[in-house]
Amino acid sequence: MMFYRLLSIVQRQRTNPRWQNWSSARSSASAAEAHSITLPTQTQVVICGGGVMGASVAYHLSKMGWKDVVLLEQGRLAAGSTRFCAGILSTARHLTIEQKMADYSNKLYHQLEQETGIQTGYIRTGSICLAQTQDRLISLKRINSRLNVIGIPSEIISPKKVAELHPLLNVHDLVGAMHVPEDAVVSSADVALALASAASQNGVQIYDRTTVLHVMVKKGQVTGVETDKGQIECQYFVNCAGQWAYELGLSNEEPVSIPLHACEHFYLLTRPLETPLPSNTPTIMDSDGRIYIRNWQGGILSGGFEKNPKPLFTEGKNQLEIQNLQEDWDHFEPLLSSLLRRMPELETLEIMKLVNCPETFTPDMRCIMGESPAVQGYFVLAGMNSAGLSFGGGAGKFLAEWMVHGYPSENVWELDLKRFGALQSSRTFLRHRVMEVMPLICDLKVPRWDFQTGRQLRTSPLYDRLDAQGARWMEKHGFERPKYFVPPDKDLLALEQSKTFYKPDWFDIVESEVKCCKEAVCVIDMSSFTKFEITSTGDQALEILQYLFSNDLDVPVGHIVHTGMLNEGGGYENDCSIARLNKRSFFMISPTDQQVHCWAWLKKHMPKDSNLVLEDVTWKYTALNLIGPRAVDVLSELSYAPMTPDHFPSLFCKEMSVGYANGIRVMSMTHTGEPGFMLYIPIEYALHVYNEVMSVGQKYGIRNAGYYALRSLRIEKFFAFWGQDLNTLTTPLECGRESRVKLDKGMDFIGRDALLQQRQNGVYKRFTMFILDDHDTDLDLWPWWGEPIYRNGQYVGKTTSSAYSYSLERHVCLGFVHNFSEDTGEEQVVTADFINRGEYEIDIAGHRFQAKAKLYPIASLFTHKRRKDDMEMSDLHGK
């Protein structure tokens, strides 16, 4: 975690006259003129924000050859959260992409002093993450496994070892810890200044005391910025305005939603100890105690993330107020108690100051980067969830790559601005959500955790009905989706107690839902899926779709095609099912969180002046998924139409009547590999159709089911899911979907060249299914995702998703297998033979479980038959 910068900067500001003329004393000529000269009238890129983020983007852009860059800062460089940052660089992160960004930052800052000649205060102290509970230790072990495989040294150590590493720590309540020896502390303001200085040497022009008023946009493209000192024309704008990024985004005529919100954050500075702490004393992360502690000028600096954060600037105030934020000792009391418990000897240490500095948080605790879906050339890098210093270098690099090459070198979908839409931009939502997010930084991160605030925003018309039947809900892109249905006679644990890395309490509930899907019929409300309709007057719709999608869409009316929407590199931008409604009209179903991204992609590639009509019809339809062998009986009874495979083959779409309701789009697919139908129902009919289905279905044993059942079903059948398993860097060939790519469909499509080349050269990673062998579901830790995969003892990749298969009675993990050269570590071609000839292990929190690798789904799962002698009386009961 990241933190707060020492007052040394503040003090220097007062005492050192150099500070006022930072530029003349420290930097090159172009920046030195910042105060006096007028702004240029034209440039390629304008970066707004002179904190560590803005400086890092400028630094990396200039390194990559984009030198026509102007950086504007409303106050002084490195004066916002950057100035107050505690200066801890920690690579112990939960997401691999975050680990990589922090690792890169660490390496960058390490050599920055040498590169620029500016002292950054970089000291490699190492950090120790403490565990007071076994669950915390599991969490650390998971991080540890992942750090090791990307080459960051770290180890799990005993409390005794902790005491050796840090003399002041009370370790008797610890169960273990993780030591990351290469983590560092650094002065973040100096890092920002060094980056800015290097950028400015490379030609970037830096102007402080210049406020961006708004960004000028023409035809959905950035054309310039309006500042308090005049206009600058530009093609790219980068919003690195930190906590003001939200307001700045809204100030455009065409607003850019950047959902983030600031909270007050406190940390304590003390005078030096009698025997001052050595400057290489490791940094302590005591997440169970909600605090971090680092050495600071012989004393300590300690802050934390309290349970009851204080959000601020909800109404959007100006920066002047930052200076006036009050110290709040009563608010800090729990953290102080926690500190004294951890380091009892500090009792007699004298306080220097309690610093209050706002930190910015996002709705899902991940930072925000990327290009606005609405305005081309408008890039954002903000919302660091108090890890700004740790991510600064890496995030700046990725964003610069994104701008220069069109895409970053790693998959950053988890951080992409387009995972959010305008719906996350309500001030009330943000205020409430960040109050939950900030404590979460220290909370235990367990599988299947759902946010509790900002809920019930988008719901299906059946919400109340399902809720009354015991539905438990999860949220995706603001949409409530049922996880599973708790039977009336069953009690589940309270929320806090249900946190576990082991077998969850809903195991039996989901089992019965899965069983019902396989033997009878279940209904799952899947209304959250993103649904678009594309129509044209002529053949334009077909033409554009043929160009955007890899499969052949020139199919007879009524057919459904599974296809990927690929980028130039052949990677999946989206994975969807498209039904041809008529010759000129297509219905497209994509994952829920694709609503913004897919829309932006389509808009970007559609010819501007055609008579194509693209409509987001997500809200118009309620989607019910009827899964199971008896779905066909239910539907034919309700429609008086034969639904058997002869009349209604698989992957087919028909408008028909269900009950009294006409015009229901019935599709013979279930997203799970089980037999059944998706019903797309105009919302006003939703309740009627649901009621009819439930009442007719009763005699076929119908029941409600939720997403957990769906997940178990799809994973055991090796169905990959975009956003989880597939991303912009994975191609259809890498996940065995050659059949969904029609390289010879008679016309070019995006990514075709890359795929052709890949077909010739072979793939460098392969999507594989693993079935855990010696794993005890009741007693062992469950896999989640992100677990390292070992082949013959060598690390070959990570899992992307996992689920318990009730049919196989085993855990199934999906993931990518690479073939790293033993000598050079370089990626080599992965063949089926390579996969098949390996012995595999999956590393769950340091424990390796044997696994069988499969490249193709297990056929027997598709033809489920129950043996006669398995039948029992309870099969006669209604569900």
Partner 1 sequence: MGRFCCRCCCPRGLWMLSAPCCDDRRMCVCPGPRRIGIPVRSSSLPLFSDAMPAPTQLFFPLIRNCELSRVYGTACYCYHKHLCCSSPYVPQGRLRYTPHPAYATFCRPKENWWQYTQGRRYASTPQKFYLTPPQVNSILKANEYSFKVPEFDGKNVSSVLGFDSNQLPANAPIEDRRSAATCLQTRGMLLGVFDGHAGCACSQAVSERLFYYIAVSLLPYETLLEIENAVESGRALLPILQWHKHPNDYFSKEASKLYFNSLRTYWQELIDLNTGESSDIDVKEALINAFKRLDNDISLEAQVGDPNSFLNYLVLRVAFSGATACVAHVDGVDLHVANTGDSRAMLGVQEEDGSWSAVTLSNDHNAQNERELERLKLEHPKNEAKSVVKQDRLLGLLMPFRAFGDVKFKWSIDLQKRVIESGPDQLNENEYTKFIPPNYYTPPYLTAEPEVTYHRLRPQDKFLVLATDGLWETMHRQDVVRIVGEYLTGMHHQQPIAVGGYKVTLGQMHGLLTERRTKMSSVFEDQNAATHLIRHAVGNNEFGTVDHERLSKMLSLPEELARMYRDDITIIVVQFNSHVVGAYQNQE
Residues of this chain that interact with partner 1 (CB under 8 A) are 268, 270, 314-315, 326-330, 332-333, 336-337, 339-340, 346-354, 427-428, 431
**Cβ 159 to partner 1, closest distance in Å?**
23
607 burial level (CB within 10 Å; 0-12, 13-18, 19+): exposed
Rounded to the nearest angstrom, the gap between the alpha carbon of residue 233 and the centroid of all alpha carbons in its chain is 33
Rounded to the nearest angstrom, the gap between the alpha carbon of residue 298 and the centroid of all alpha carbons in its chain is 38
Long-range CB contacts (within 8 A, 24+) of 637-640: 637/696, 638/692, 638/693, 638/696, 639/666
Q: Which is nearer to partner 1, 67 or 331 (CB)?
A: 331
Q: Which is nearer to partner 1, 337 or 691 (CB)?
A: 337
Q: Cβ(735)–Cβ(720) under 8 Å? A: yes
The distance in angstroms from the start CA to the end CA of the chain is 49
Q: Which is nearer to partner 1, 268 or 412 (CB)?
A: 268
Q: Cβ(528)–Cβ(706) under 8 Å? A: no
Q: Which is nearer to partner 1, 95 or 325 (CB)?
A: 325
**Cβ 334 to partner 1, closest distance in Å?**
9
Structure-token pair, residue 779: 């007693």
Q: Cβ(811)–Cβ(785) under 8 Å? A: no
Q: Which helix (H) or strand (E) holds 532?
A: strand 530-535
The rounded distance, in Å, linking the Cα atoms of 555 and 549 is 13
- At 137, is the secondary structure helix, strand, or coil? helix
Closest CA to 846 of 521, 534, 487, 501: 501
Q: Which is nearer to partner 1, 328 or 776 (CB)?
A: 328
**Cβ 765 to partner 1, closest distance in Å?**
47
Q: Which is nearer to partner 1, 326 or 497 (CB)?
A: 326
Q: Which is nearer to partner 1, 171 or 336 (CB)?
A: 336
**Cβ 146 to partner 1, closest distance in Å?**
36
Q: Residue 609 contacts by C-beta under 8 Å, 6 or more apart in sequence?
A: none
The rounded distance, in Å, linking the Cα atoms of 540 and 609 is 11
Long-range CB contacts (within 8 A, 24+) of 495-502: 495/452, 499/135, 499/444, 499/446, 499/449, 500/135, 500/446, 501/135, 501/138, 501/139, 501/446, 501/447, 501/781, 501/782, 501/784, 501/845, 502/779, 502/780, 502/781, 502/782
Q: Which helix (H) or strand (E) holds 707?
A: helix 707-716
**Cβ 878 to partner 1, closest distance in Å?**
35
**Cβ 247 to partner 1, closest distance in Å?**
12
Q: Which is nearer to partner 1, 326 or 739 (CB)?
A: 326
**Cβ 118 to partner 1, closest distance in Å?**
32
Closest CA to 90 of 157, 31, 152: 152
Q: Which is nearer to partner 1, 429 or 749 (CB)?
A: 429
The β-bridge relationship of strands 621-627 and 522-525 is: antiparallel
Q: Cβ(104)–Cβ(393) under 8 Å? A: yes
**Cβ 301 to partner 1, closest distance in Å?**
13
The β-bridge relationship of strands 479-485 and 653-658 is: unpaired
CB atoms under 10 Å from CB of 583, counted, come to 14
- At 367, is the secondary structure helix, strand, or coil? coil
What backbone phi and psi angles, to 5 degrees, belong to 148? Answer: -60, -40
Q: Which is nearer to partner 1, 313 or 402 (CB)?
A: 313
Q: Which is nearer to partner 1, 348 or 761 (CB)?
A: 348
Q: Which is nearer to partner 1, 156 or 268 (CB)?
A: 268
**Cβ 348 to partner 1, closest distance in Å?**
5
176 burial level (CB within 10 Å; 0-12, 13-18, 19+): buried
Q: Residue 15 contacts by C-beta under 8 Å, 6 or more apart in sequence?
A: none
**Cβ 351 to partner 1, closest distance in Å?**
5
Q: Which is nearer to partner 1, 348 or 497 (CB)?
A: 348
Structure-token pair, residue 249: 């985004």
Q: Cβ(520)–Cβ(628) under 8 Å? A: yes
**Cβ 299 to partner 1, closest distance in Å?**
10
Q: In this structure, which amino acid lies at residue 136?
A: R
Q: Which is nearer to partner 1, 247 or 519 (CB)?
A: 247
Q: Which is nearer to partner 1, 161 or 310 (CB)?
A: 310
Q: Which is nearer to partner 1, 350 or 839 (CB)?
A: 350
Q: Which is nearer to partner 1, 429 or 707 (CB)?
A: 429
CA 336 to each of CA 301, 435, 751: distance values in angstroms, whole numbers, following the listed order: 12, 20, 56
**Cβ 314 to partner 1, closest distance in Å?**
4
**Cβ 25 to partner 1, closest distance in Å?**
31
Closest CA to 178 of 131, 135, 134, 133: 131
**Cβ 330 to partner 1, closest distance in Å?**
5
**Cβ 7 to partner 1, closest distance in Å?**
13
Q: Which is nearer to partner 1, 454 or 571 (CB)?
A: 454
**Cβ 270 to partner 1, closest distance in Å?**
7
Rounded to the nearest angstrom, the gap between the alpha carbon of residue 407 and the centroid of all alpha carbons in its chain is 17
**Cβ 308 to partner 1, closest distance in Å?**
11
The rounded distance, in Å, linking the Cα atoms of 497 and 87 is 35
**Cβ 83 to partner 1, closest distance in Å?**
20
Please state the length of the chain: 879
Q: Cβ(585)–Cβ(654) under 8 Å? A: no
